[in-house]
């Protein structure tokens, strides 16, 4: 299975999905996919993914400073979007953007499964 | 119901809870409660709650910069803790700290209910 197939499969299985990306913590996208009917949100989703690289770097630093332990997962709910982020190794993350009615529980489940597949590639 | 009763009720209802606090975004605690059998983690939990004030301020700024919309909720999963945070108005938040096996779905549900009760007081 290619990265692209993996990402598209997640978009199909999680209700309310808009877009998904595998990103480096440096803010560069490695692979991304969009739900075709929601292409008009594409630029938006790319900007959100890139901004999260910075947020995740800060959060990982805070986690280690306060002894919270290694960060694995982050979920954000705002008025307009729901974001589920899963760290892959110490350099990469996968970020799934959902609309306001998106299924966060299913999203977390799918990203945990993807993590198991991806961690061998990203060590 | 006092704030203290509200917080203790949530700790009792959410499996895996360690501590909970109502905080200002300036980092000052308004009310807090701990699960008595996990008191040895108390200082730790207080530090985590205070550190999150900074993280939330940064995240709220990023949310508004990238057009994600007003932030409502944030969840963090690390090796050692699970944190569920709910914004109350624009100045306060409630943060629930769970152990590694804590029930995040139930925690999100309880904080949404608490939000409805608290938002009248914190406007």
The verdict on A55 touching B (C-beta cutoff 8 Å) is yes
3-state SS, residue B112: helix
The ipTM of this complex is 0.82
DSSP conformational letter for B89: T
Chain segment A3-59, per-residue pLDDT in tens = 999 999 999 999 999 999 999 888 888 999 999 888 777 777 777 777 777 778 888
Top-level class of domain A3-118: alpha beta
Q: Do B47 and A70 touch (CB under 8 A)?
A: no
Sign of the CA dihedral B99, B89, A101, B58? Answer: negative
Cα–Cα distance, B17 to B32 (Å, whole number) = 13
Dump the DSSP string for A86-107: EEETTTEEEEEEE-TT--HHHH
Q: How many CB atoms lie within 10 A of CB A34?
A: 21
Per-residue confidence (pLDDT) for residue A111, from 0 to 100: 97
Answer for the pair A77, A60: CB distance below 8 angstroms, yes or no: no
**Phi, psi (rounded to 5 degrees) for B24:** -85, 155
Q: How many CB pairs under 8 A join A and B?
A: 86
Residue closest to B10 by CA, chosen among A67, B1, A103: B1
Chain segment A56-73, per-residue pLDDT in tens = 888 877 777 777 778 899
- Closest chain A residue to the Cα of B55, Cα to Cα: A59
- Domain locations in chain B as residue ranges: 3-118
Cα–Cα distance, B10 to B111 (Å, whole number) = 8
């Amino acid at each position: 299975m290619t990265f692209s197939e993996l990402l598209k499969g997640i978009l199909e299985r999680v209700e309310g999905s808009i877009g998904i990306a595998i990103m480096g913590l440096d803010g560069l996208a490695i692979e991304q996919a969009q739900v075709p009917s929601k292409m008009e949100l594409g630029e938006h989703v790319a900007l959100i993914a890139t901004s999260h690289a910075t947020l995740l770097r800060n959060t990982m630093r805070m986690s280690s400073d306060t002894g919270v332990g290694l960060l694995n997962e982050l979920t954000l709910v705002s008025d307009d979007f729901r974001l589920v982020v899963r760290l892959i190794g110490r350099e990469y993350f996968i970020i799934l953007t959902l609309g306001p009615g998106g299924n966060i529980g299913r999203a977390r489940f799918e990203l945990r499964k993807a993590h198991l597949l991806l961690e061998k590639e990203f060590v």
